[in-house]
Amino acid sequence: MPANVDVHDIAPYLKEDEAEAFRRALDFSAEAHSGQFRKGGDPYITHPLAVTTILASWRMDIQTLVAALLHDVMEDTGVTRTQLTSHFGASVADLVDGVTKLDKLHFENKAQAQAENFRKMLLAMARDIRVVLIKLADRLHNMRTLAAMSDEQKQRIATETLDIYAPIANRLGLNALYHELQDLCFQNLHPTRFRVLDKAITASRGDRMEVIDKIRDSVVAKLKECRIEAEVSGREKHLYSIYRKMQEKHLAFTEVFDIYGFRVIVNDIPSCYLALGALHSLFKPIPGKFKDYIAISKANGYQSLHTTLFGPFGAPVEVQIRTQEMHRLADAGVASHWLYKTGESRLSEAQKKTHQWLQSLLDIQADSRDSVEFLEHIKVDLFPDEVYVFTPKGAIMAMPRRATAVDFAYSVHTDIGNHCVATKINGEYMPLSTPLKNGDRVEIVTSESARPNPTWIHFAVTGKARAHIRAALKHVHLNESVALGRQLLGQALRALGGHPEDIDAARWEPLLKESGRSQDDILADIGLGKRLGVVVARQLLAKDGDAALKRAPGPMYIRGAEGVAVRLAKCCRPIPGDPILGQIKKEQGLIIHTHDCPQVAHYRDDPDKWVDVEWASDIDKAFDVNIKITAVNRRGVLAKVASGISAEGSNIDDVHMEEESDNYTNLYFTVQVQNHVHLGRLIRALRGLEEVVRVSRLKGGSEGRQRNIV
């Protein structure tokens, strides 16, 4: 064991057999890291020892301490997981593996590699909370010793810590760690600002402390008068908190009055509210600045009463009121009583919330396409700015600020989110995109036939909602692509003289074996334009020789509501009645154009690039079309034209104007029509208006780069 290291100085709570395990792990780590040095020149063993000391201050168990001593041996030395298992057991080996980076794997870029590291760490954390506690202690010591790094490394590590590790510490209720990480990041990201602010606080500390002492004496006297036993202490706000307040509210340092606050520790919950009343009778409370985190605790289990008062000198005074147990949890979070150590029935409310959040990471991972997307989802859940809403039965749910009814639906249950169609907020029907506010009572209306809408992804906030929406859309897209691919393949088979019903499993088997894909995968590839249907058809018919074209394939019928695998081109906006053709576009599926669309002119001579399509006869859907109206520049002309469009049973989706001359104005409308006949009737009606000079249909977008007169 390295000299001058006394186990009981680091972790005095360990039993003798545990202290012996600690000594063995320290010796093993020291030998493994022998000859290695940190950037600052210290022997490398000083780092795992410092990390272990931090964890011991949280009174972590012996397995965690041993894993902390060994946390870098798999990454930086030749030690294997098998060796760790044989020397220290599978549990310690699992913990070490959970915090080991993935540097030996190859990724497309640094962002993906970093995201994969976080994904592994967080999923290991979901299985055992001690993994992330080791990782957080490791990051804290690295931040404390960042001076030896280059400026570029300081910026990268500090940014990463501020974005991910500090929010995780906060999410787990490790309050002291959270604030220290923030201040260390601030010091390394903005060293000059840090020094200036630190100097300003030091210079003003004497005057401020005199004021704080006077306020503290008044608070103590008032509580004593009300016979409330309490410990009252003044506290100085952390540098990063002050800096962030100055940035957000555009304040100078001299304008930030609430740099100091008070913490009142009482014996029980009733005393918290009694103390609150006493303080409100001593100093006037500032409206809107009271938060009851006892009745409704934060997602990380934090409980306290927060109030801001008008102090005796006009400066706001922040006060936190809590019990001793709440205070212990506020500083140590889940580390104060880690989850693995107790049965589910004995879990505190804070531990249950943490456990639920950790399990939700597994759900998000299952529905994320890759590590970068997973990291994007969980970042939202790491920031604790919350609103509290009620279910119809009165249960309280914490949601991130700006969360919508869709987020609420998915937080209740995935099936409710996937099938929601409407929401009632405080008894009134509201859009699903409505942001939730504190105290809202939210009810979700569902339908078994409903499916997630692609637009939801634009306003969903929580990682769980976004992951499930994307997964559902991906599934729908896949099904639609398979259906389209089956149609395109059938068309190609008929063109070669075959018939879809004749293609049995025996015909498919050689192709599936050669490609290593399933039948649905190949059909989806055809639907997405990744494979040509005619090529697959020839492979399926190969044993019949080169089949001659016996008859032209039947056309594919388009209804305009096939889904994302079949889309109407925006360049020409085809409508029923227009001659059309289908362009197979890689990764996008089948795009329907008008025959005369210039975008596909060069494809018409290549039959492998387009599909014969026709409009179905039973279409019941409105289609967007762009029209340009030149009208006399006269007051009320827009309203008159809009009224004329409405009178013909068309909806207006978009409109904008541009002045052609002093006498004429061009009006550009995107309107909805049923078919070519409906459009012709609409244009004839508009031409009949006194103010209208001419009407034309636009192809090539609403700016009218190409025009067809109807």
Q: Which residue of the set 76, 163, 258, 386 is catalytic?
A: 76
Residues with Cβ within 8 Å of residue 428, at least 6 apart in sequence: none
* Structure token pair of residue 608: 């492998």
Task: State the pairing for strand pair 420-425/610-611.
Answer: unpaired
Residue 532 main-chain phi, psi, to 5 deg? -90, 130
- Structural contact between residues 312 and 328, judged by C-beta atoms closer than 8 angstroms: no
76 is known as an active-site residue: yes
Strand pairing category for 260-266 and 316-323? parallel
Three-class secondary structure of residue 623 per DSSP: strand
> Is 75 an active-site residue?
yes
Rg (CA), the chain: 34
Sign of CA pseudo-dihedral 674, 677, 683, 687: negative
Helix (H, G, I), strand (E, B) or coil at 606: coil
C-alpha–C-alpha distance, residues 174 and 142, integer Å: 17
Minimal CA–CA distance to 146: which of 36, 45, 42, 40? Answer: 40
What's at 706, amino acid-wise? Q
Cα-Cα end-to-end distance for the chain: 91
The residue behind tokens 């329907």 is 592
**Nearest Cα residue to 664 out of 636, 702, 630, 635:** 630
Contact 139, 71 (CB under 8 A): no
Round to whole Å and give the CA distance between 90 and 183: 37
For 413-419, which contacts have Cβ atoms below 8 Å and span 24 or more sequence positions?
A: 414/363, 414/464, 414/468, 416/444, 416/446, 417/452, 417/465, 417/468, 417/469, 418/450, 418/451, 418/452, 418/468, 418/472, 419/446, 419/447, 419/448, 419/450, 419/451
Is there a contact between 159 and 182 (Cβ–Cβ < 8 Å)?
no
Query: In sequence order, what are the beta bridge partners of 668?
Result: 628, 656
What is the C-alpha separation between 45 and 23, in angstroms, rounded? Answer: 13
Which residue in 75, 198, 520, 614 is the catalytic one?
Answer: 75
By annotation, the residues acting in catalysis are 75-76
